[in-house]
Amino acid sequence: MRKLISITMAATLLTASVSFTSCESVKNTNKTQRGAAIGVAGGALIGGILGNNLGKGGNGALGAVLGGVIGGATGGIIGNKMDKQARAIEQTVPGAQVERVGEGIKLVLGENSVNFATNKATLTQKAKDNLDKLATVFKQEPDTYISIYGYTDNTGREEYNLSLSKQRAASVKQYLMEQGVAGNRMITEGMGIADPIASNDTESGRAQNRRVEFGIRASEKMIQDAQNQAGAH
């Protein structure tokens, strides 16, 4: 079974700067404890800074996930929900690369999971089968927002690749909607050749860069419900 990667953020607000630290004791805490630690250290501010910076520089799903760290007991409750959903995705969708980041999830589906007809935005049957599984998980936790990013390799004209990536992200959204995932939960963006995760100098590297990324984060309803739950304790 693939190892689920957890990224833990601990922060300290200084006079005019934010610093990030990590230690073994933090790694050994559970998500609720980490969420509380983030809240004490000013997680909301850090999340805004990270989200803005990553968003400006691309980074697709990662920027979306880090755009609104909440922290405190509320963040811990949301983190527990995201832990559960991340495990469900990893266990259900073949080839899924699942990464827990802050209070959200970054999900990468490469060509081995979601692929398209050559130079088209048409989903293959294999892609549909895997998106069926992903839709089932998404419907089990309806109070999340989902950002979908399409990527290509650098073969061909950059403008063409950008257009194709937009169409492919839209095709994924459309198919998920057909499987019952609410359309108002999802936004799409084509990233084209941006943010390669492997070298475009080899076929294997280009294959890795042809991918779909998802940024999964809490909706306002999930945040409000978590706030209410935290206040009741």
Residue 68 has a pLDDT of 66
Residue 142 has a pLDDT of 96
Q: What is the pLDDT of residues 162-204, one digit of tens each?
A: 999 999 999 999 999 999 999 999 999 999 999 999 999 999 9
- Which residues, given as ranges, of the chain have pLDDT below 70? 1-58, 68, 233
C-alpha to C-alpha distance for 180 and 203, rounded to whole angstroms: 35
Report the predicted TM-score, pTM, of the whole model to 2 decimal places: 0.78
Residue 12 has a pLDDT of 33
C-alpha to C-alpha distance for 2 and 117, rounded to whole angstroms: 28
Residue 233 has a pLDDT of 60
Q: Count of CB atoms within 10 A of residue 209's CB?
A: 21
Contact 12, 21 (CB under 8 A): yes
Q: Count of CB atoms within 10 A of residue 140's CB?
A: 10
Of 175, 176, 226, 194, the closest CA to residue 62 belongs to 194
Contact 169, 190 (CB under 8 A): yes
